Chain A
Amino acid sequence: MAAKKRGAFSRRDFIKAAGAGALAAGVGPAIIIPGRAHAAKKTLKILQWVHFVPPYDKWFNETYVKEWGQKNDTEVKVDNVGLAALNAQGAAEVAAQKGHDLFLFMWPAPTFEQQVIDHREIYEECERKYGKPIDLAIKSTYNPKTKKYYGFSDSFVPDPVNYRQDLFAAVGMPKGPSTWDDVRVAGAKIKKQFGNPVGIGLSPEIDTGMAMRTIMYSFGSSVQDRDGNLVLNSKQTLEAVKFVKALYEETMTPEVFAWDASSNNRGMVSGKLSVVLNAISTTRVAEKENPDISAKIQLTKALKGPVRAIGLEHVMDCYVIWKFAENKEGAKKFLVDYIGNFRKGFLASEFYNFPCFPKTVPDLKKLIANDPKAHPPDKYKVLEDVLSWATNVGYPGYANAAKDEIFATWVINNMFAKAASGAETPEAAISQAEAACKRIFAKWKEKGLI
């Protein structure tokens, strides 16, 4: 009997082992690629994602940090992990109180506020040297309640509208859509005539999260107001949800419920979709893999809704320096110098990363207006005024811990998906989402972060 009991316990322990295994596997993509190193007095350890544009990593890891290290007598080590592993990696470093000196999140990381230094002086120094940062950067790294800069944003990635120029021309819209209503009307015609559906996801993944918020904001709806009060349940939100339901019914297929973050890229590049919202990685892939399609995909600015034309960042670079970082001064200096050299980064990322300090790339408009790889070369020209139509998650307020959890648990995505699929009425979907948001807001308020 005793032996049996022991057997039972070890089995129970196995449960935990399995759980731990699952967690480890969830962190699976975190394959750490150690950077090269050379002898120097100080060290600076940087962790960032595996960039969607591989030449950027090559430039950053093998050229830029080496040059900077030589000038500053520092050995710089760069580790790259997959996008999905960033939060788990951050959590691990906090738990260990040990890790990298510079940690790059690809979205605002307000939950880590207590663990990071105030990045105010980096902003001040950069502003003194390179002029004002864009509002989007501040909105994504500043907590108005605690008056603390919980990160430093060097760049962001625009999220323009990608549309099939040939298909839109065929239904009488050669310059592409300019309003959300255009997408609905032309999308329906295109689907009927050519069978190509609109490709805006309704699934638990990041692109859907961005697209749904874009629609909400342009309909005058939002999760929170300027001061961080929950205002989700509004007439405007209802309009937005009803619009998405109609958009889904008239222009899309159930595949949008099944998508992951790369499905819309693939669908567009394979020629199956008429419109997607994505970073320019879609067109870049098309340029390399399918030049025919590349010529047909064109970009346009944020679409107009009943209230405004507004878009979101696709991802937001947010560097943090941990309180427990060993080389804080080096990290600060690195960021300030990096901003000074950002034009190189902009080029290395093939226009993927846009500057948060616009003056660092004074010839941006000229550069993007004439890209030899693009079809036509001025394809990316529409991004020249992206700052006037791009905003942060959390608009019109600041990014904060509550919106972080709302985003991560796909509350908004599911609100739209439930209504669009008919699983719930728009009103019910909204009130369920509101209840979830209310709870999340209350939780983080109680913790003092908002």
Chain B
Amino acid sequence: MTQKAMTTVETGTQVARAKTGRLTAILDSEIWLGRLMIAPAILYIVLLIGFPFLLALYYSLSDITIGSRTMSFVGLKQFKAVIQTPLFQQSLKNTLIFTFISQALVLVLGKVLALALLKNFRGKWLVRLLILLPWVAPISLGTIGWLWMLDSIYSVFNWILRAVGIFGPTTWPIWLGVPHLAMGSVIAVHVWRQLPLATVILLGGLSSIPHDLHDAAAVDGAGFWRHLFQITIPLVLPIMIVAVLFGMVFTFTDMIVIFVLTRGGPYDTTQVLASLAFFTGIMGGDLAEGAAISLFLFPVLVAAAFVFLRIARRAEVT
């Protein structure tokens, strides 16, 4: 009896040991552990990004409206129809202007800021904090702040510029009411918003350059501009390209700044594809056309991403 019990106990232990063994084996195996660890991320991407994306893609090829559940496949009809409208063409043009100008500014200003932050100076932490602030603050909240600063009646800028005497008593620009000023304003706010990220990315790139290279360039006789354009910029080029790509994609697909500041006005001169898609699809009810508008740039973006990443790879140096 005792002996039998003993045997049972022993067998039990063995089973337990075998089980822990298998678990340990999985946890010890780099392949399985890796799969286990990456699974939540993949799940996240599939559920929250992949699925909605495919849905949007399907919407754009259908005739769905905001109030219908039955939809039929209509191919590229939505795309063909919407591309011909002047509003779409203007929005496309605005999107390109908005994106390219804001990204160029982000790049140059981000570079300047990053270079400045690389140096040591008193109060650097404060400057860093201030630069990161736009990124930390909720986007819509920050943009609403800008809306007030650019307000037609209470514009802080106009008030200050008038107080210091730059504007005369009759000068009172309506920042969001005149096409070029409005485009300039939305670009400026967008730049303000994207600058922190670009700066941090570029700062990361700049600090990854071995200091010896800067010393070597200094000893070899390079002045500031030669140093910047022949040493520093080529060395951060891969990271810069990724930053620009990131910013471009983000700008192409984003409408918050425009939605809060101008809603596309005055008379569609700041309308971009993302905001047009929202007004048409969600507010106007034509989901399919909205999806088509928002996905129009997708192939362009994929192509741009492909080219950019190839360049970045070429430029990679170590």
Contacts and interface: CB of A to CB of B under 8 A. Distances in A.
Indicate if A touches B (C-beta under 8 A). yes
A19 B263 contact: no
A254 to B, nearest CB: 4
B80 to A, nearest CB: 12
Contacts of A449: 65
Given A15-B253, A15-B298, A258-B266, A91 B287 contact: yes
B205 interface: no
Interface string B85-128: 11100000000000000000000000000000000000000000
A8 B308 CA distance: 10
B198 to A, nearest CB: 15
Given A23-B278, A94-B69, A404 B85 contact: no
B179 to A, nearest CB: 7
A15 B301 contact: yes
A425 to B, nearest CB: 14
* Interface magnitude class on chain A: 35 or more
Contacts of A109: 67
A258 B52 contact: no
A257 B249 contact: no
Interface stretch (B12-20, B43-51, B208-216): B43-51
Contacts of A204: 262-265, 267-268
Contacts of A17: 48-49
A440 B284 CA distance: 10
Contacts of B183: none
A94 B66 contact: yes
B66 A87 contact: yes
B306 A8 contact: yes
Nearest to B68: A114
A22 B256 CA distance: 7
B177 A16 contact: no
A447 B140 CA distance: 35
Contact of B284 (A258, A263, A405): A405
B66 A8 contact: no
B52 A12 contact: no
Interface stretch (A231-239, A297-305, A337-345, A408-416): A408-416
B274 interface: yes
B174 A254 contact: yes
B45 A112 contact: no
The CB with the most chain B CB atoms within 10 A, among A17, A115, A258, A259, is that of A258
Contacts of A203: 177, 263, 265-266
Interface of A: 4, 7-8, 10-20, 22-23, 25-26, 28, 87-88, 90-91, 94, 97, 109, 111-115, 202-205, 253-260, 263, 266-267, 270, 272, 401, 404-405, 408-410, 413-414, 417-418, 421, 423, 432, 435-436, 439-440, 443, 447, 449
9 contacts: A8-B305, A16-B49, A16-B56, A87-B282, A111-B65, A263-B151, A409-B280, A417-B266, A421-B267
